[in-house]
Each structure stands twice: as C-alpha cells, then as structure tokens.
Structure 1
Amino acid sequence: MKIIIINYGAGNIQSIKFAIQRLGYDAILSDDPEEIKSADKVIFPGVGEASSAMQKLRASGLEKLIPELKQPVLGICLGMQLMCNYTEEGDTNGLGIFDTNVIRFQKDVKVPQIGWNQITSLKSPLFNDISENEYIYLVHSYYAPITETTIAESTYGITYSTALQKDNFYGTQFHPEKSSTVGEKILENFLKL
C-alpha cells in the first residue's frame, strides 16, 4: 500500500509517519502531484496558522489537486479545517471540500483547547471498534460546527465536529497520532478503508 503524507511545510509529519510505522506500514513524505495522485491513501496534516498554510498550498499548486483526489484522504487538525469552505483564522478561504466554515471558540472558554476530550456520536467506518466517550487529543482554537458531514462530536463550551466525512474525504480535528491506542486504531481503520 502506498501511503503519502502531503509535505507542504505545515505539519507535524514526523509523528504521523512514526504512528504509521508502528502499525507496520511505511509512509512517503511528498509534495509531488503525480506521486500524491498515485497513492492508495493520502494524509493531509496541518499545524500552525491557516492563512500561511493556504499560501504554501497555493504556491505548490496543491490547493487544486487535493479536492480532486479520488482515494481516501485524511485531513488532520488544521488539515481538516483547510478542507472546509472558510476559516476565521486569518480570514482564509479553504479547499471547499466540506461545506462549512471554521469559527473561533467564544471567549467563555480558554483557548486553545489543549488536551484530552471525549468523542461521541461516531458515524463512520473510521471509528470501527472505537467506543463512544473514548478520549482523543486536541490542540485548537477554531472549530467546525455540527453539519450533515459530521461523523464525530466533542463538547468544549459548545458541541462541535471532531470529525467530518464527505465521499472519500475524512477529517479529524483531533490528532490520531497523539491519541494513544484509540488514535492508532482510527489510523488503522483509515488505512483499511
């Protein structure tokens, strides 16, 4: 199986690569469009600030490629947010895969949300053999509201989408590579899709 982690200068790609190695697979870091198109599975990571991450995607032409991919694609954290229409962070237009906007947590909660939170309302093969109320690891100040593409929820002041899915595109607000055995199982489920 050919697994590509998109390397566009905005991700914690090494920890994702190590998590995949622990599952017995190898992942290739790449920003080459032909190599990405030929992958069986694509992981779209993201850590950092949305507008600068989108600038990097535009500079490499990847903002046109990613929405056209036909194989399973997993966006992680900022990667998921950039797959949405728009994010308030840096007043940034995203890739438009998920038809929702990403908004900042209100001032009545401490931002960023850092740490472990429970995941509920699981609705996808991504969560096979994962129980309701398991704990996953998050670091974020912005969130995607609940929509018809929501496949998992968490609550932090309000209930929001911790995972999204549309067709072959999946996104997790949490970091599966930092979410212990639960996250490892979710990555394994993605690789089995």
Structure 2
Amino acid sequence: MIAIVDYGVGNLRSVGQAFTHLGVDVIATDDASVLLRADGVVLPGVGAFGDAMNQLRVRELITPIKQYAAEGKPLLGICLGMQMLFDTSEEHGEHAGLGLISGSIKRMQGTHKIPHVGWNQLEKSREHPLVKDIKMGDSVYFVHSYYAIPDHQQVVVASVDYYQEIPAIVVQDQVIGMQFHPEKSSTVGLQLLSNFIAFIDRGERGEEHDCITGHRLI
C-alpha cells in the first residue's frame, strides 16, 4: 500500500488516481501510524515552502516522515514535496526543510519567464531504476519558481535545461524527489511512477517485480 501524505497542500486526487491507474492500493492520510506501515510514501505539494512545512508541523508529521525515511523505506517527494526533502529554502525567508537530502532551495534567476511552466525534456545524468525505460528527451510537466541545489551532485539522476541546469529527479538511498508533476506528465509520468512502484517492490522482496497489485481509490 502506498500512502499519500495529506497535509492540506497538494493535489492528492490526481496523484492518487495515477497510482490507482497503475493498479496500486493507495490511501491519502495524515495518520502517522498509517504512514509508518505503508510500503511507500508520497509527499506531494504545491504553494509556498514555509506554509507547507508549517502544515506538516501542525499535524505532527515531520517526525514520522523522518522516521519512515530513516527506516530505509521508499519516500517520493513531488514538486514542492521534493523541495521539502532538502535542508533549507529561501522562499519568502529562510525555512528549514526535512533535511533528508543535503542542499538548499533557491529562486531561479534571470530575465526569462519565471515560473518555469510547461513541458521540458529530461536529460539523464546516470542510470537508475527510477529512470528505467525513460529515453533522453522524454518530456515531463513543470510548474515551479524555485529549484534544488544539492550539496552532492551525484544525487541528481536527471535534469532539465531551463536557461540553467535544473535537477529534475534526485535520489539518495530510498529518498526520491521529482521536481515536475509525474501525475500530469502523460505516459512518461506513468512510467516513472511505475518505476517507483517497482522500486518499492524490489526493496520488499529483494528482487525486481513489475508492480504491486490491488486497488483502492482515494
């Protein structure tokens, strides 16, 4: 079962429907005990970094999420959820993140259009199970004004070019971030979510399987 963190921020239904389409049991919850029992956890997010972190704090979800990651279980952050995996953000002041990946979140600079909205082509930095069957130039959908600057470049699995290099997929052990919206990225996004499911299943069984079966609509 995949648990989507429900903290009042993010489009839970579209994320849940994408996983349901792939044949996965999925539930949206703010219950820490449910999150800790899940096979995989998804942290979605839209809006401002500080507000989102405050919602996690008010709902007493920061410690359970950190505990889940410390236990080596797969955690996927999407869009703002990816940014929250990092140490700090400068969005509307200085804010502490979850500190699961070393680095910071900064605002994009330049005279080009900000926010970065629309489709952009992935460029794989290295091979990883998360980008299995993803080809160079496959496009995904972005909506963001801030981007991650990891302390260690090796966590970057794929990036995009938007007048500068923007990390698009980051992975550190079982902690994964996607700056774009896979649930809005058509067949490429579904492939990436399917890869995440296989990543969960491989971790549970010690080998690679196609997917987790079963359905539950949120």
**TM-score > 0.5 by shorter chain:** yes
Of 120-129 and 4-13, deviating more is: 120-129
Q: How does 1:86-125 map to 2 (within 5 A)?
A: 86-90=88-92, 91-123=94-126, 124-125=128-129
Cross-structure match for 2:197? 191
SS in 2 for 1:144: strand
Of 76-85 and 59-68, deviating more is: 59-68
Distance across 1 between alignment mates of 2:40 and 2:66: 14
Cross-structure match for 1:175? 181
Cross-structure match for 2:37? 38
Aligned-partner residue type, residue 114 of structure 1: V
Aligned-partner residue type, residue 155 of structure 1: D
Structure 2 residue 74 is the aligned partner of structure 1 residue 72: yes
Quote the offset at 1:40 in angstroms. 0.4
Distance across 1 between alignment mates of 2:169 and 2:109: 20
Distance across 1 between alignment mates of 2:192 and 2:181: 10
Structure 2 residue 164 is the aligned partner of structure 1 residue 155: no
Of 114-123 and 47-56, deviating more is: 114-123
Aligned-partner residue type, residue 72 of structure 1: P
Quote the offset at 1:112 in angstroms. 0.7
Cross-structure match for 2:139? 135
Of 175-184 and 147-156, deviating more is: 147-156
Of 75-84 and 117-126, deviating more is: 117-126
Of 117-126 and 93-102, deviating more is: 117-126
Cross-structure match for 1:81? 83
Structure 2 residue 18 is the aligned partner of structure 1 residue 16: no
SS in 2 for 1:133: coil
Aligned-partner residue type, residue 31 of structure 2: D
Length-normalised TM-score, structure 1: 0.96
SS in 1 for 2:124: coil
Of 74-83 and 64-73, deviating more is: 64-73
Aligned-partner residue type, residue 82 of structure 2: M
Gaps of 5+ in 2: 200-218
Quote the offset at 1:82 in angstroms. 0.5
Distance across 2 between alignment mates of 1:88 and 1:40: 32
CA RMSD of aligned residues (A): 1.1
Structure 2 residue 55 is the aligned partner of structure 1 residue 53: no
Of 90-99 and 170-179, deviating more is: 90-99
Quote the offset at 1:78 in angstroms. 0.2
Distance across 2 between alignment mates of 1:33 and 1:76: 19
Aligned residue pairs total: 192
Q: Deviations over 1:73-102 (max 9, x none)?
A: 100000000000111112211011110101
**More relative contact order, 1 or 2 (CA 8 Å, 6+ apart):** 2
Quote the offset at 1:122 in angstroms. 4.5
Quote the offset at 1:172 in angstroms. 0.3
